[in-house]
Amino acid sequence: MVVLNIQQIMEILPHRYPFLLVDRIEEIEEGTRVAGFKNVTINEPFFQGHFPGHPIMPGVLIIEAMAQVGGAYVSVIDDIAEGKVTYFVGIDKARFRKPVLPGDILRMELELVSKRRGIYQFIGIAYVGDTKVAEAELKATFADK
C-alpha cells in the first residue's frame, strides 16, 4: 500500500531532480519505522560518470536516498513545519554489500532508534529484492532555512 506517492513526497521534501532519490513511501509505523523505494534507471545522471560501461549507483547516493526516506518520515510523523531544512549530523557504520545497478528497485527500511534534543537517529538498511546492499546509522536534525 502506498502511503506517500511522488507528488506527496515532493510536497514534503525540498529535493528535486536530479537529487530527489525516493519515489514512494509504502510503510510508516509511527515511532518505529518507515520503508521507501527508489526505482533505479539507466537514465540517472550519475551513471554517465560512475562508471562508463559499468554503471553502479554511488554508495553515497544510496545513503542519501535512505536519509530522504527518514526525512519524509519525520516530516509526516512530527509535522515538521514548512521553512525547515534537514541537516545530516552524522553517518556511522556505513557498509556497502552489493552494487546497485540500473533496473534495480532499491527498498530502504529505516528504524527510528532515538530522538533527543531535536536529533533523530535511524538505522537504515537498503535492499534489492531480498539482498542487503547497504546499511548505515544516520543522524539528522531540522533547522530554519
Q: Please give the domain boundaries of the chain with CATH numbers for all domains.
A: 6-101+111-144 (3.10.129.10)
Q: For the chain, state the CA radius of gyration.
A: 15
- Answer yes or no: 50 catalytic: yes
User: Residue for cell digits 540500473?
Assistant: 102
Q: What are the pLDDT tens digits along the chain (145 aa)?
A: 679 999 999 999 989 999 999 999 999 998 899 999 999 999 999 999 999 999 999 999 999 999 999 999 998 888 776 778 889 999 999 999 999 999 999 999 999 999 999 999 999 999 999 999 999 999 999 888 8
- Of 15, 33, 50, 132, the catalytic one is 50
pLDDT digits (tens, 9 = 90+) for 50-75: 999 999 999 999 999 999 999 999 98
